[in-house]
Chains A and B, each alone.
Chain A
Amino acid sequence: MARAQLSLLERLPWRRIILVVLGVVVIAVVGIGAARTLALTPAEGGYSADAWEDFIVQGAAQGGIFAMIALGYTLVYGILRMINFAHGEVFMAGAFGSFFFADAFVKSGFLNSSPVLAVGILMLVSAAVSVGVAVLLERLAYRPLRNAPRLVPLITAIGASLFLANAFRGFFGPQPYGYPKPGVLAGNVTVLGVTLQRTQLLVLAVAVISMIVLQWFISTTRTGRSMRAVAQDREIASLMGINVDRVIVTTFAIGGLLAGIAGVLFALTFEQVQFNMGFKPGIAAFTAAVLGGIGSIGGAALGGFVIGLLQAIGPPLILTGYGIPSVFSLRDAFVFLVLVLVLVFKPGGLLGTGEAEKV
């Protein structure tokens, strides 16, 4: 009788080999592309220092928006272990909701006479609509599925996302609406030697402030503590007297609040709203949340900025070197690629809990 043995083919650690090869290829492609791009003078198709500065600023501002949306994803995931695929539509709803007020404001001149108040009201309205949609989602689509196997809420969320986007399409039509910008936000401003658009400055300021406030809220207030408790162990939290349902609704509401504010910022930056504007930022924000470690607030914030910068700098830096035309048209593909690579190499994220392999 022969001894127990397995063929050499079966003994190789295939998974590790594939990952190493893939990693090497990615690093090589990135490195070579970057080197070649940087070697180009602006005349040859490269970029000036000013151009890079613009990219970085733009990436940071976009990142701020992504971060705010990402927080919504990560908060809901922390509590319910589900990905709220429809969060992009929550974002869109707020932006749209604020549009009609913005339109009225600009027509009556209010937008330019008291811009601070006007924009403040817009954010309030947007947040209210987003919170409303988010809470409705939780109540109607997610609550009945609290104890269902993981994939069921995900599929439901996809359906809800489709439904919401098309409902808004039905309400308001498929065309984009031009979002007005107060005059005071036009033009550039120089801060600490860096030139940025005023809108970008607003975005960064609001984003950073929101995140600080959120962090304070989660760590200090009683509700924040309850949220952390429910995120850790829902059953025990309910045994400790925490009203789990209410905490969950609050979580969705906070996510909606942030998404709504982000919606106004986005609308002011791109000066338009449309029924399908939630999809791409939603994916980018979700990527950000996963990159930073889903379930981690700091991770979502960090991830947001990282993704923002990556999608602003990545295409020009890496792809130009290979002579690929119109690198910016591939920006979305770039974000998706980052999503795939993050999930392949580090599903637990940079700051996350590392729970991604099938348990």
Chain B
Amino acid sequence: MSEPPSAAGSDVMLEIRGLQKHFGGLYALSGLDMVVRRGEIVSVIGPNGAGKSTLFNVITGIYEPDAGDIVYQGLSVVGLRPFQLVKLGVARTFQNVRLFPNMTILENAMVGQHCRSRGGVFGSIIRTPGVRTEEARIRQRAEEALSFFGKRLSGYRLEQPAFSLSYANRRRLEMARAMATDPQVLLLDEPTAGMNPRETLELRDHIVRMRDELGLTVVVIEHDMRVVKGVSDRVIACDYGQKIAEGTYEEVANDERVIEAYLGTKAAG
């Protein structure tokens, strides 16, 4: 199989109900609700420590929630292991770029296609035609995903180890790798962190292209408001593990509670 199945007719890709997660005495998520529809780009914003990365970790199965439900295309996915979620079509990047540093760029991307391929032990040993075709297809898909970001991650670069990449290219590689899993929903965790203004704006356009050209549903955790403004269909603001505002960028940016969460003080009078 190479394409993951998707919900028939229904508009809702991902629904989060009353999600709770605590670590000892620290409540990272305390009753979070969220809905993401097909083809949307939703931004999740909030001050540091608001539980945004934890949200991603819980959705993708790295942590198990203490309470609440996560429904993906009508299927409750709580308790599934991360690799199972990838197979279902949910891919992610990490806040602190986790590549496979000693693997080449192409190999990193090819890992993404792992869950869409089947080559087994015996087939791999004797290189049956089926396996060879599959390898070629994996390679091609990986190159396609990489070429989404232009010439940077192509050509001779493909055989270079990932650790030799510049910071911005590492982030791009991580995204390409996630895209190589043929996902339906892509979770990006602070994708522009550490990039200079030009790279940031470029990435902003890339995210929009992900939706427009590849049909992906994207959920982005972001701090850079230029990006949030430029990509979002909807913005969700969080603080202390809960949703405090939701709407278009303008609505949320002007919401009192959001301003208070970021700046900490109520406007006088």
A and B touch in the complex (CB under 8 A): yes
* A-to-B contact residues, CB < 8 Å: 1-6, 10-11, 13
Q: By the criterion CB–CB under 8 Å, are A5 and B5 in contact?
A: yes
Q: Which B residue sits closest to A15, measured CB to CB? A: B81
User: Interface 1/0s, chain B 139-165, versus A by CB < 8 A?
Assistant: 000000000000000000000000000
> How far apart sit A175 and B88, CA to CA, in the bound complex (Å)?
64
B73–A4 contact, CB under 8 A?
Answer: yes
Residue of A nearest to B87 (CB): A6
Measured between C-beta atoms, what is the minimum distance from B114 to chain A in Å?
16
Q: Which of A1, A2, A3, A10 makes the CB contact (< 8 A) with B84?
A: A10
In the complex, A5 Cα to B8 Cα: how many Å?
12
Q: Is B75 an interface residue (CB 8 A)?
A: yes
Contact B80 A6 (CB under 8 A): yes
User: In whole angstroms, how far apart are the Cα atoms of A6 and B5 in the complex?
Assistant: 10
> Across the two chains, which residue of chain A brings its CB closest to B77?
A4
**Chain A proximity mask over B35-65: 1 for CB below 8 Å, otherwise 0:** 0000000000000000000000000000000
Cβ–Cβ < 8 Å partners of A13 in chain B: 79
Task: Mark interface residues in B69-93 (1 if CB within 8 Å of A CB, else 0).
Answer: 0001111000110001001110000
Contact B74 A3 (CB under 8 A): yes
B34 touches A (CB below 8 Å):
no
Interface centre among A3, A11, A13 (most CB of B within 10 A): A3
Cα separation A185 to B84 with both chains bound (whole Å):
65
> How many Å lie between the Cα of A10 and that of B87 in the bound state?
11
Contact (Cβ within 8 A) B75 A4 = yes
Given the complex, which residues of A lie within 8 Å of B18, measured CB to CB?
none
Q: Enumerate chain B interface residues (CB-CB to A < 8 A).
A: 4-8, 72-75, 79-80, 84, 87-89
Within 8 Å by CB of B72, from A1, A2, A4, lies A4
**Cα(A5)–Cα(B72), bound, Å:** 10
Specify which chain B residues have a CB less than 8 angstroms from the CB of A10 in the assembled complex: 84
List of A residues within 8 angstroms of B6 by Cβ: 1, 4
**Chain B positions within 8 Å of A1 at CB level:** 5-8
Q: Does A3 contact B87, Cβ atoms closer than 8 Å?
A: no
* 21 CB-based A-B contacts, threshold 8 Å: A1-B5, A1-B6, A1-B7, A1-B8, A3-B5, A3-B8, A3-B73, A3-B74, A3-B75, A4-B4, A4-B6, A4-B72, A4-B74, A4-B75, A4-B88, A4-B89, A5-B5, A6-B80, A6-B88, A10-B84, A11-B80
Residues of A within 8 A of B84 (CB): 6, 10
Report which of B5, B80, B87 forms a contact with A2, defined as CB distance below 8 A: B5
Q: Which residues of B contact A11 (CB under 8 A)?
A: 80
Residues of B within 8 A of A6 (CB): 80, 84, 87-88
The CA-CA distance from A6 to B87 in the complex, in Å, is 9
Shortest beta-carbon distance, B43 to chain A, in Å?
A: 24
A8 to chain B minimum Cβ distance, whole angstroms, is: 13
| A280 CB, nearest partner CB in chain B, Å | 38
Q: A4-B4, A4-B74, A11-B80 are in contact. List 15 more A-B contacts (CB 8 A).
A: A1-B5, A1-B6, A1-B8, A2-B5, A2-B8, A3-B5, A3-B8, A3-B73, A4-B6, A5-B5, A6-B80, A6-B84, A6-B87, A6-B88, A10-B84
In the complex, residue of chain B having the shortest beta-carbon distance to the beta carbon of A10: B84
Bound state CA distance, A2 and B87, in angstroms?
A: 14
- Name the CB-closest residue of A to B3: A1
Residues on B with beta carbons closer than 8 Å to the beta carbon of A4: 4-7, 72-75, 88-89
- Smallest Cβ-Cβ distance to B88: which chain A residue: A4
Q: How far is the CB of A310 from chain B (nearest CB, A)?
A: 33
B252 to chain A, nearest CB (A): 30
A2 to B74, CA, bound (A): 11
What residues on A are CB-neighbors of B88 within 8 Å? 4, 6
Bound state CA distance, A304 and B102, in angstroms? 43
Residues of A close to B80: CB separation below 8 A: 6, 11
Q: How far is the CA of A13 from the CA of B78 in the complex (A)?
A: 12
The smallest C-beta distance from B17 to any residue of chain A, in angstroms, reads 17
Question: Across the two chains, which residue of chain B brings its CB closest to A2?
Answer: B5
Alpha-carbon distance A1/B215, docked complex (angstroms): 15
Across the two chains, which residue of chain A brings its CB closest to B6?
A1
Q: Report the separation of the CA atoms of residues A10 and B85 in the bound assembly, to the nearest whole angstrom.
A: 12
Complex alpha-carbon distance, A10 and B83, angstroms? 11
9 closest A-B pairs (Cβ-Cβ)? A2-B5, A4-B73, A4-B75, A4-B88, A1-B6, A1-B8, A4-B5, A3-B7, A3-B74
Assembly CA distance A4 to B80 (angstroms): 13
Question: Shortest distance in angstroms between A178's beta carbon and chain B's nearest beta carbon?
Answer: 55
Chain B residues with Cβ below 8 Å from A2 are 5, 8
Give bound CA distance, A181 to B77, whole Å. 67
Q: Which residue of A lies closest to B90 (CB)?
A: A4
**For A5, what are the chain B residues with a Cβ–Cβ distance below 8 Å?**
5, 75
Query: Shortest Cβ distance from B216 into chain A, in angstroms?
Result: 15
